[in-house]
Amino acid sequence: MKNTLKGFGAALCLTLPLFAQTPARAADQALVQRGAYLAKAGDCVACHTAPKGKPFAGGLPMTTPMGQIYTTNITPDPQTGIGGYTEEDFARAMREGVAKDGHNLYPAMPYPSYAKVNDDDMKALYAYFMSGVAPVQQANREPDIKWPLNMRWPLKFWNMVFLDKGVYQDKPGKDVAWNRGAYLIQGLGHCGSCHTPRGIAFQEKALDESGSAFLTGGLLDGWFAANLTGEHNVGLGRWNDQDLQAFLKTGANRHASAFGSMTSVINNSTQGLNDTDIAAMSTYLKSLPPAGGSGAPPYKYDPQATKVSLNRPANDAGARVYTAYCMHCHGVDGRGFAPMLAPLSGNPNVLEKDPSSLINVTLNGTEDLVIGGIPAPYPMPKYAPVLNDQQIADVLTFVRAGWNNGAPAVTADDVAKLRKSTHAAR
C-alpha cells in the first residue's frame, strides 16, 4: 500500500484541558479533538513534517516529474503558516488546491481526494489546526523547478479537467460500513494518491471504484504502491478481513509487511484509528473486484525447485546471495516468520511485475514499524553498502522465481537506476 505517505508525531495528541471550561468551550475542545483524529486519518503530518523537523512546519522534499518541491508550513503561525486563514480559506486550499493568496498548489497535495471531505469534518480539521497545533515560525522553501515548468497558472486548467469538487455522497444500496470505508479511503485517507496509477498529466486515472484503474497500484518516488483490489496474486484477493485489519493496525500479517512510505502510514495514521473505522476501510477495500495484475494464473505455493537450488547454491548466483544474506530471516521455504519477518513466497510485492519496491527496500531498507510505542524487532536492513547492482539483481531474480512465484527477472541496470535516483533524493 507511497510518497508519498509518512509518520504522525505526538503533536496529534495536543489538546486543551477539559476541566474548568464553559459548555461552549468544552464543545470547542470536542471539535478540536475530533479534528485531531481526522488529521490522523488524513496523514497530514506525514508530508508536512521534515525529518527532525517540528510537526506540521513543512520542508519535506518531494520528488515530482518536474523537479523537487517542498511541503509547506501548516501550523497556525500568522507569518509563515496558515494562522491568517479563515475557515473558508482553509476549505478552499483543502478542496481546490488554492492558497489564501490565490496561487495554485501542486497536485502532490492530494486535494482531489480532500475535495470529498464533508463540511462538518472540514470544520473540525480547521479547529484542530488553529487551536490544537503549536505555531512554528518557519519560512516555506521555494520548489527546485526551473522556468517555465514552475509557472502555476496552468494548474487552473488542470483543475478544470481533473478536479471533481463534489463532497462524498453515500452510495445507495450500500450499508453504513461500506460508505464509511469508501469515504475514508477516497477522501481523507487519499489512498489513491499512491495506489492509483497516474496519467500523462500526473492525474490519478480514477478517483473511485467506478474507474477500472482505481487502486490497481502505482509507481511513485521510487516505490510501487501495491494493488488494493481483489486481484489474486498482487492484490488483496487472498487476504480476508482479519488479514487486512491486522495490516492496517500493525503493518504486518501472514502475507506481507509494510515498508517504504507505508511504514509511516501504519506508524502514525492507521494504527491510531478506531476499530470501527478500520473495519469499514477493510469492508470497502474487500468489495473491490479484481483489476490490474499480470493475468498470471492464481499463485500456488511450490517449494521443491527452490529447495534444490538452496541445497546447491554454488550453481546459482542468486541462491548464493540468498543463503548468505536472506535465508536466516526469510527461510529456506520462503515463508519467513510472519508477522515478524515477511514471507517471500506468494508475497504480493514479490509477484508484482514492477520490481521497484523490492529493489528499493533491498538497497535502502526501511524504517522501523513502531506499534504502541514498541519498534519491530527485525527491520529490513539496507544492503546498498554491501551488495553491488548485479548481486541485488541476482538475488531478487532468484526470489521472484522461487517457490513458484513466477515473477519477471530483475536486471543490474534496474538496480543501478534506482540506486542513483534514491541516493539523489537523499
Q: Which residues fall in the annotated binding site for heme c?
A: 44, 47-48, 191, 194-195, 326, 329-330
| Segment holding 72, helix H or strand E | none
Using DSSP, state whether 224 is helix, strand or coil.
Answer: strand
Would you state the cell numbers that stand for residue 43, as one nine-digit string? 496523514
Return the amino acid letter for 34.
R
Q: What single string gives the DSSP state of each residue in 287-308?
A: TSPP--S--PPPP----HHHHH
- Which residues, in sequence order, are bridge partners of residue 61? 70
Closest CA to 97 of 83, 81, 82, 110: 110
Specify binding-site residues: 44, 47-48, 191, 194-195, 326, 329-330
Between the alpha carbon of residue 3 and those of residues 97, 107, 155, 416, the distances in Å are: 18, 13, 21, 21
List Cβ<8 Å contacts ≥24 apart for 209-213. Answer: 209/182, 209/287, 209/288, 212/291, 213/291, 213/292
Question: How far is 420 from 267, CA to CA, in rounded Å?
Answer: 28
Would you state the cell numbers that stand for residue 93, as one nine-digit string? 486550499
116 with 187: CB under 8 angstroms?
A: yes
Among all chains, which residue has been given the C-alpha cell 498470471?
Answer: 296
Closest CA to 295 of 215, 238, 234: 234
Spatial neighbors of 44 by CB under 8 A, at least 6 apart, are 56, 74
Q: At what angle do helices 241-250 and 261-268 cross, to 10 degrees?
A: 90
Q: 412 exposed, middle or buried (CB, 10 Å; 0-12, 13-18, 19+)?
A: middle
